[in-house]
A = this chain, B = another copy of it.
Amino acid sequence: MRRRLADVSGPARLAAPGEGLGQDELALAARNHGLPLEALRYDVTPPGLHYVLTHYDIPAVPDDDSWRLTVSGRVRRPLSLSPGELRARPAVVVRTTMECAGNGRALLSPRPVSQPWLVEAVGTADWTGVPLRRLLDEAGVAPGAVDVVFTGADHGVERGVEQDYRRALALDVATGDDPEILVAYAMNGAPLPPQHGSPLRLVVPGWYGMAQVKWLRDVEVSDSPFTGFQQSVAYRIRRTPGETGEPVTLIAPRALLIPPGCPDFMSRTRVVGPGPVPLEGRAWSGRAPVTSVEVSADGGRTWEAAGLEPDHGRRWAWRRWTFVWSATPGAHVLSARAHDAAGHSQPLEQAWNRGGFANNAVQRVPALCLDPDGG
């Protein structure tokens, strides 16, 4: 009997109605993690609280400066750079909110079986690095180039295909400055942690996480459109398995609130007292600047405007918002929703897709307000 990758690597599937999470989904949830929502209180997410998704394994990386980033393909002067050589170049720092393309997946019905995020796959960091367009300038893009392909050092099998993690950007995006794309070597002023791509990663502000290639080892300029697994098979918006689908690109608007009061350990339901309860949270959109945030305390039936802090010149970072909720005894569902300058808003019910991508349906936070004597 021949052993085939298909023996351990099945096709994508949807959970059956009422099917609880399986051990495969749990194995992903136990090693990857979201932002504990109370950590929305920090402008910049502290180490270890930023969401992490690793497709395969975190690669072992040499301690010294022997890592090489190559710039190859349709260029006049191929480059081979150590992290030290990159750090010697002029640096840019960009504060960026990143979100996993699969955020919200486990709330969909039927549930696509994959990393089971609820709403917490987000984080904000100050990334330091060299603008990608400068490196491409230095290498000299040759005529005929159409895509730039990024290869990470993480290696594994997915839906039967053994692969290095690899994604591409169109040449105009890769050589553009809006957003300014970085080959980053530092996160919040410190060298990248292993799980965030040490020693080098791509940072593409405004795009979902699949574009932010970690453990970056090659940038290849290509004269044909990239059709690799993570571009053509995964990360497409599809309703049926057969269709080509639309690529997942820029982050859809989302607001999240810090669950108020205190939690029940198991149900995570919030417990608050009656009276004014300050609410706060963050809002972001990769598609256009956030223009307003609204809050609902009745599960989305009625909405009121929240106060929205200025963006402080940081287009790609989340913005803080505040609201005061007048809590009355009883069971409530708290939500916030963001609107952006391009007219995008968050839906109450998500338009379903097979991969569970770009799900920005509004968060629902159950809260019990006790009677005035403390319940």
A-side residues, CB < 8 A to B, are 2-5, 7-10, 19-39, 41-42, 46-50, 52, 54-58, 60, 106, 113-114, 116-118, 120, 155-159, 162, 193-196, 259, 262-269, 271, 329-331, 366, 368-371, 375
Contact = CB atoms under 8 A, between A and B. Distances in A.
Nearest to A329: B3
Contacts of A56: 262-263, 265
A369 B3 CA distance: 8
Contacts of A8: 264, 267, 269, 271, 366, 368
B36 A263 contact: no
Nearest to A368: B8
Contacts of A29: 26, 29-30
Given A2-B375, A24-B267, A269-B8, A30 B19 contact: no
B33 A60 contact: no
Copies of the protein in its oligomer: 2
A364 B322 CA distance: 48
Contacts of A22: 20-21
Contacts of A194: 39, 42, 46, 49
8 contacts: A8-B271, A24-B266, A27-B118, A47-B47, A48-B48, A48-B195, A157-B263, A157-B265
Nearest to A42: B194
B120 A31 contact: yes
Given A26-B116, A46-B193, A158 B34 contact: no
A331 B5 CA distance: 11
A215 B329 CA distance: 31
A266 B3 contact: no
A162 B262 contact: yes
A344 to B, nearest CB: 25
**Most B CB atoms within 10 A — which of A31, A52, A117, A266?**
A266
A121 to B, nearest CB: 8
B10 A262 contact: no
B158 A24 contact: no
A3 to B, nearest CB: 5
Contacts of A118: 23, 26-27, 30
A145 to B, nearest CB: 30
Contacts of A329: 3
A24 B117 CA distance: 13
Q: 10 tightest A-B contacts by CB? A: A20-B20, A48-B48, A33-B33, A21-B21, A8-B269, A29-B29, A158-B265, A9-B264, A157-B264, A31-B36
A26 B21 contact: yes
A269 B44 CA distance: 35
B57 A48 contact: no
B26 A330 contact: no
A206 to B, nearest CB: 24
